[in-house]
Amino acid sequence: MIIRLALIGSGTQTDPYRIDLPTFSGVVTNETTGRAFADVPVSDVPADVAAFVAAYPTYDLTTPLPVPFPPALANAWAEFLARRYDLGNARWHPVVF
């Protein structure tokens, strides 16, 4: 599933820009806007996040979302990944951006 996500990091050698997910492929980034398109395995995307992505499709790395990604949905995705990868505490905090 192609999802536009927020980049994390400061862009330095010790803190490079990256996507805050355990697995993904096919990354296209725009460091100026802090966004990236990534192909995320469907098994790593809970149904409510997939529904949000489908409801608010994005076609470029510059146009803002019409509505912000809800913090509760971001937290639920982090918890989903923690359970999926058997982590005690949520490690990844992906944000649709």
| pLDDT tens track, the chain, 97 positions | 999 999 999 999 999 999 999 889 988 999 999 999 999 999 999 999 999 999 999 999 999 899 999 999 999 998 899 888 887 665 777 878 8
d(CA 63, CA 33): 9
Asked if residue 51 is part of any domain, the answer here is yes
Based on the structure, what is the number of domains in the chain? Answer: 1
Asked if residue 15 is part of any domain, the answer here is yes
Whether residue 36 contacts residue 16, with contact meaning beta carbons closer than 8 Å, is answered with: no
Whether residue 23 contacts residue 63, with contact meaning beta carbons closer than 8 Å, is answered with: no
Asked if residue 73 is part of any domain, the answer here is yes
Asked if residue 76 is part of any domain, the answer here is yes
Helices 47-55 and 71-84 cross at an angle (nearest 10°) of 140
Distances (CA, A) of 86 to 76, 81, 83: 15, 8, 5
Asked if residue 44 is part of any domain, the answer here is yes
Per-residue model confidence (pLDDT) at position 89: 62
Tokens for 88, please give them: 């005690």
In which residue are the tokens 């400061």 written? 10
